[in-house]
Structure 1
C-alpha cells in the first residue's frame, strides 16, 4: 500500500515541491525582467541612450556598476583601504562628539528660557567658562559665566 502511494505521489509530485518549483520559475523570470528597458523611437538611438543614462543614474544602477572592482585588489591594498576607512570613521566620530559637546542644552526657568553652552577647550581662548543666552522679552542677552 505504501509503495503504491509513494509511486503515485512521485508521479504527481508533492504540493510543496510543486509550489517551490513554481516560485523558483517565477523568481527566475523576475530576474530576467529586471533591468532597464528603453524604447528606441524613430531610430533615434542617441535619444534612447540619453534616456537610459537618466534612468540608470536615478535608479542607482550606475553607482552599483561603478562600485564593483574591475581589477583584482591585492591584500596589501585592501589593508590600506581598510585603514583609511577606519581613520575616516574615527575622524567622523570625533567630529560628532565635538558637535555634541557644543550643542545647546535648554534649561527651563520660571518666566524666561536659559540656554547653556559648554565650550570646548579649543574655544576657551574666546571665552572662559559657560556662555549663557537669555531670551528676555524677545531680546537676546549674552553673558559669560566663569567656571
Structure 2
C-alpha cells in the first residue's frame, strides 16, 4: 500500500491499527488526518516528515495517553516522578515570576509616590 503510493507520488495516511480504542478511533476520524506527499520516491523522507507532523499535532501523545495496554509499575513510577518534577518546576517558576512582578509593582509605586511628592512641592 505504501509502496504504491510512493510510486505514484501521491499522499498517504497512516494506516489505523486494529487495537485502537473505539473512543480514540472516533476522535481520530473527526480529524482530517495527516497527509504527506512522497517526492522522488523518497519514502524515508516522507515517513520522517509524517513523524514530525504527528509529534507537532499531538496525535502521538494522545495515542500514548489513551492506550489500553498494561503499564508496568516501574514505568508508572517513572511517569509519576517526571510529572512531580514538572509540577515542582512549574511552581518554582510561578513563584519566581510572582516575586519579580511584586518587585516591579513596588518600584513603580515608589516612582509614582516620588513624582507626586515632587509635583506637590
Does TM, normalized by the shorter one, top 0.5? no
After TM superposition, the score normalised by the length of structure 1 is: 0.34
Return the structure number with greater helix share. 2
Return the structure number with greater strand share. 1
After TM superposition, the score normalised by the length of structure 2 is: 0.39
Which protein, 1 or 2, shows the higher relative CO under an 8 Å CA cutoff with sep ≥ 6? 2
